[in-house]
Amino acid sequence: MNFCPTCNSVVETKIIFTYTAEREMNDEMFGNTTEISLSKCLKCQNPFLKQNHYQIVEGEFYPNSEIQFFPNTENIAIKNCPKIVFNPYKEALKCYRAHAYDACVIMCRKGIEAICMDKGEIKGNLATKLKNLNSKGILENTLYSWANELRLIGNDGAHSHDQIVDQQDAKEAIDFFDALITYLYHLVNQYEELIKRRKK
């Protein structure tokens, strides 16, 4: 069983191909090995690529660690962003996986509020805060448009009884939120480090 981001549910999967590396064993039948598996979701047919590491004890295999290469669900920027931003992102994912799409986009909107607070914008409504970040150059025009769209989708989730927030709306809200975090808390820092290294 795996969580499939396309189906947004835990699904049954079927292994298509498995490669097991040569086992590293000692004379007492202790050792380890690595297995790479390619499987597919039985609902949407999307692939999963995983690496499993096994500890071998007296000839028996015991799972030690697992890494999913595809779909890649890890984002280093998310781990490095401030807690005030990370918490609504984590909650938005929980809501999305629970099919609570209104709640998901509301949490994404809360995350945009958190970014504004972290960047020093604490006065006025969210629209004003985003305009101020744009005028300061913290949010360039494209990112400002994304953040403002997240604000509007979040408003629909919180206040509108006519505008339905569906799975695609919620998924795109998380994707935009993810992109904003990646830019502000990872790529900007990487760029600054690059400039420092080149000046040495």
pLDDT in tens, the chain (200 residues): 777 878 877 788 999 999 988 766 666 667 888 889 999 999 999 899 888 888 888 777 788 777 777 876 556 667 778 999 999 998 998 898 888 999 999 999 999 999 999 999 999 999 999 999 999 999 999 889 989 988 888 888 877 667 788 888 898 898 889 889 888 888 877 777 777 777 76
Rounded-to-integer distance, Cα 70 and Cα 48, Å: 5
pLDDT of residue 128: 94
Tokens 């998901």 -> residue: 104
pLDDT of residue 78: 74
How many residues does this entry show for the chain?
200
CA 83 to chain CA mean position, Å: 15
pTM across the whole model: 0.64
pLDDT of residue 76: 63
Domains and CATH numbers, the chain: 2-70 (no CATH), 76-199 (1.20.120.330)
Rounded-to-integer distance, Cα 183 and Cα 198, Å: 21
Residue 113: closest CA among 96, 128, 93, 135: 128
Q: Which of the 8 DSSP states describes residue 137?
A: T
Q: Which of the 8 DSSP states describes residue 138?
A: S
